[in-house]
């Protein structure tokens, strides 16, 4: 049977390393506001460590999403061409993805890669109980194990769950009502941030034309948050802290990437560029101007008035009208 001990050792090592670092810089191990911040910060920075390691995968995810978005016009053409023939459509689309080196499942890859981390933290925190005999398992010392077992967030043990029993919380010296309140609030935050991370990406990139990819989008947007409403009751508080921190990290990372590399925006008007009366729809008519307004026509200049001919001066010789081409002067009476 395949053993997951290597995951438990890795998660334990990261947690203990960060806890030692916070102790070294003077973070108090005593509870402040009912919280042992050294262990809470260790879980938060476990997220930071994992996300830094997975950053290259996140970059590949963004590139794959860009490639999938650029292929949407071709996907739509295939859907129109093979309408009613689902088998041929799937074959053609798989060939298109292979040719263009795009993977519709790449959007879920970072989440799938974090599942082992989630399972490792879940298993480790589930063991945190002062009555547990395996205190030195996965590299923990007895002192570290006891310290983590007594670690709390607002007086609720990090190994406590919404579905914990009164007897389980009594062994950890905690109040069951307090644990349920803290865990319940964290589960609601976990569901909300999980929904927002998927919604943020879909709002920027739009719904996919590919039915398979659209199904994955719907699963991420609605299916996973709904499942957390039920499964959140069995998650230790420390695991929920990890999940919420990971979601907040994802929201910030996606916002930065989407601003720096905005997604391709498909044209809203599909009729743009079609000919209308010998002219393209994108080009305005001459009489319409750039925005459909009438262009100002240049004013027509009026013909220049004929110059006035001055009368003859007194004592001047009369001018022969035949030679000059002018009208004969009136005789003076």
Q: What is the pLDDT of residues 173-189, one digit of tens each?
A: 899 999 999 999 999 99
Backbone region of residue 156 per phi and psi (left: phi > 0; alpha: psi in -120 to 50; beta: other values): beta
Q: Name the H helices within the chain.
A: 5-24, 37-53, 55-70, 72-81, 86-100, 109-126, 142-149, 166-171, 176-205, 211-218, 224-231, 237-260, 321-324
Q: Is 117 exposed, middle or buried (0-12, 13-18, 19+ CB in 10 A)?
A: buried
Share of the chain above pLDDT 90, in %: 29
pLDDT of 329 above 60: no
* Phi, psi for 236 (deg, rounded to 5): -60, 150
- List, for residues 89-105, the tens digit of each pLDDT value: 888 888 888 887 777 77
pLDDT of 327 above 90: no
pLDDT of residue 305: 56
Report residue 83's pLDDT band, with 50, 70 and 90 as the boundaries: confident
Which residues have C-beta within 8 Å of that of residue 192, sequence separation ≥ 6?
A: 225
Average pLDDT, the chain: 78
pLDDT of residue 311: 55
pLDDT of 308 above 70: no
pLDDT of residue 68: 76
Report residue 45's pLDDT band, with 50, 70 and 90 as the boundaries: very high
pLDDT of residue 237: 95
Report residue 265's pLDDT band, with 50, 70 and 90 as the boundaries: low
Read off the pLDDT of each residue in 248-276 and give the average, rounded to a whole number.
64
pLDDT of 120 above 80: yes
pLDDT of residue 121: 92
Cα–Cα distance, 61 to 63 (Å, whole number):
5
């Amino acid at each position: 049977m395949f053993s997951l001990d290597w995951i438990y050792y890795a998660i334990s090592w990261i947690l203990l390393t960060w806890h030692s670092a916070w102790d070294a810089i003077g973070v108090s191990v005593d509870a402040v506001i009912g919280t042992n911040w050294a262990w809470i910060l260790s879980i938060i920075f476990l997220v930071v460590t994992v996300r830094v390691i997975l950053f290259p995968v996140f970059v590949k995810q963004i590139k794959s999403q860009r490639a999938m978005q650029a292929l949407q016009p071709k996907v739509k053409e295939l859907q129109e061409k093979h309408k009613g023939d689902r088998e041929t459509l799937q074959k053609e689309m798989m060939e298109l993805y292979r040719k263009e080196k795009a993977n519709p499942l790449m959007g879920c890859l970072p989440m799938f890669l974090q599942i082992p981390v989630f399972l490792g933290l879940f298993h480790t925190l589930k063991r945190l109980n002062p009555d547990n005999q395996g205190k030195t398992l996965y590299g923990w010392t007895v002192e570290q194990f006891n310290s983590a077992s007594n670690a709390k967030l607002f007086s609720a043990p990090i190994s406590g769950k919404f579905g914990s029993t009164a007897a389980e919380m009594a062994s950890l010296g905690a109040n069951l009502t307090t644990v349920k309140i803290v865990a319940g609030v964290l589960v609601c935050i976990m569901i909300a941030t999980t929904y927002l991370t998927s919604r943020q990406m879909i709002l920027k990139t739009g719904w996919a034309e590919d039915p398979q990819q659209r199904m994955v989008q719907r699963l991420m947007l609605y299916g996973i948050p709904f499942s957390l409403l039920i499964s959140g009751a069995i998650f230790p508080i420390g695991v929920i802290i990890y999940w919420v921190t990971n979601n907040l990290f994802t929201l910030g990372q996606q916002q930065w990437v989407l601003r720096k590399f905005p997604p391709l925006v498909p044209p809203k008007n599909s009729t743009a560029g079609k000919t209308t009366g010998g002219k393209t729809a994108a080009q305005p008519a001459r009489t319409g101007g750039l925005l459909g307004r009438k262009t100002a026509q240049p004013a027509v200049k009026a013909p220049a008035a004929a110059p006035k001919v001055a009368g003859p001066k007194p004592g001047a010789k009369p001018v022969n009208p035949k030679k000059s081409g002018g009208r004969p002067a009136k005789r003076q009476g």
